């Protein structure tokens, strides 16, 4: 079954279920037909099940690989949320809990967390290991736009 995200219509407020494969096709509200803002303003929850659909996006993608017990992950979490709001519809920002999604973590050989993975056109193009300043992450994302 294809993974979906819920997007709230900016016009009428209705929640719309949008398949990740359609996130780049200018989805519209099912009720009022207003274009939906696909930059959700908060990180998308990435799982082993939806990872491949997510990275097919034509927009740059940042995946924060983290775990709830990791101190540096908790330090960088507000930065990731800030970047999700800032980049809105220009980039996809996601969070992958490595404890709950070991297949993807193993696939990308995540040995230390937080690890930030940067994708463009479905390909891994860069990564950062460790908690870094927001400006460094912002610059990497801007370079992919």
- The residues carrying an active-site annotation are 70, 73
CATH of the domain at 32: 2.30.30.380
**Which residues contact residue 137 at a Cβ distance below 8 angstroms, ignoring those fewer than 6 apart?**
62, 79, 83, 116, 128
Q: Are residues 73 and 3 in the same domain?
A: no
- For the entire predicted model, the pTM comes to 0.76
Q: Are residues 68 and 121 in the same domain?
A: yes
Give pLDDT tens digits for 77-131.
999 999 988 887 788 899 999 999 999 999 999 999 999 999 998 899 999 999 9
CB 127 within 8 A of CB 113: no
Domain count, the chain: 2
Q: Are residues 47 and 96 in the same domain?
A: yes
Question: What gap in Å lies between CA 116 and CA 131, rounded to an integer?
Answer: 9
Q: Are residues 25 and 55 in the same domain?
A: no
Q: Are residues 32 and 102 in the same domain?
A: no
Range(s) of the domain holding residue 110: 39-144
């Amino acid at each position: 079954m294809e993974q979906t995200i819920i997007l709230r219509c900016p016009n009428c407020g209705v929640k719309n279920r949008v398949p990740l494969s359609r996130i780049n096709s200018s989805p519209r509200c099912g009720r009022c037909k207003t274009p939906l803002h696909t930059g959700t303003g908060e990180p998308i929850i990435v799982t082993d099940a939806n990872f491949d659909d997510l990275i097919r996006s034509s927009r740059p993608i940042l995946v924060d690989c983290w775990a709830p017990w990791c101190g540096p992950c908790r330090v960088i979490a507000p930065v990731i949320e800030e970047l999700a709001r800032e980049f809105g519809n220009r980039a996809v920002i996601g969070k992958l809990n490595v404890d709950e999604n070991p297949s993807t973590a193993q696939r990308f050989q995540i040995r230390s967390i937080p690890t930030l993975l940067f994708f463009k056109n479905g390909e891994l193009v860069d990564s950062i290991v460790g908690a870094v300043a927001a400006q460094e992450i912002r610059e990497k994302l801007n370079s992919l736009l």
